[in-house]
């Protein structure tokens, strides 16, 4: 009887650790989106001054829009997955729930 309780606690711990890794991966993904958006923003800011491209206004605007869209998609992705992760937290250790739904 003692072995089954130890196994269940071990499984619960593994699930909690896996969930924490998932949270960290979600945060890391958001930071990657943020970094990419900043790259496009910096490219738009430096296009006229650094490269001195004529008629670069449209290219700058396009880079700014791309930067904003990437940031928006990254933020939406982060909160969508954060909600999904928090909904799955309540199922930790409840193995029968998987079979009865």
Determine the pLDDT at residue 74. Answer: 97
Q: Model confidence at 27, in pLDDT bands (50, 70, 90)?
A: very high
For residue 45, pLDDT over 50 is answered with yes
Surface-to-core class of residue 100, CB atoms within 10 Å of its CB (0-12 exposed, 13-18 middle, 19+ buried): exposed
Averaged over 57-63, what is the pLDDT? 90
Q: Say if residues 78 and 29 touch (Cβ distance below 8 Å).
A: yes
Q: Model confidence at 80, in pLDDT bands (50, 70, 90)?
A: very high
Quote the tokens at residue 94: 């409840």
Quote the tokens at residue 6: 């130890």
Top pLDDT among 59 and 71 is at: 71
Q: Say if residues 48 and 60 touch (Cβ distance below 8 Å).
A: yes
Determine the pLDDT at residue 82. Answer: 92
- Cα–Cα dist 17/24, whole Å: 11
């Amino acid at each position: 009887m003692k072995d089954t309780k130890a196994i269940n606690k071990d499984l619960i711990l593994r699930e909690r650790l896996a969930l924490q890794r998932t949270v960290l991966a979600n945060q890391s993904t958001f930071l990657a989106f943020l970094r990419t958006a900043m790259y496009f923003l910096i490219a738009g800011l430096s296009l006229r001054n650094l490269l001195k491209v004529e008629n670069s206004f449209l290219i700058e605007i396009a880079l700014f829009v791309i930067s904003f869209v990437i940031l928006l998609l990254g933020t939406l992705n982060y909160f969508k997955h954060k909600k999904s992760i928090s909904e799955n937290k309540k199922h930790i250790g409840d193995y029968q729930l998987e079979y009865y739904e």
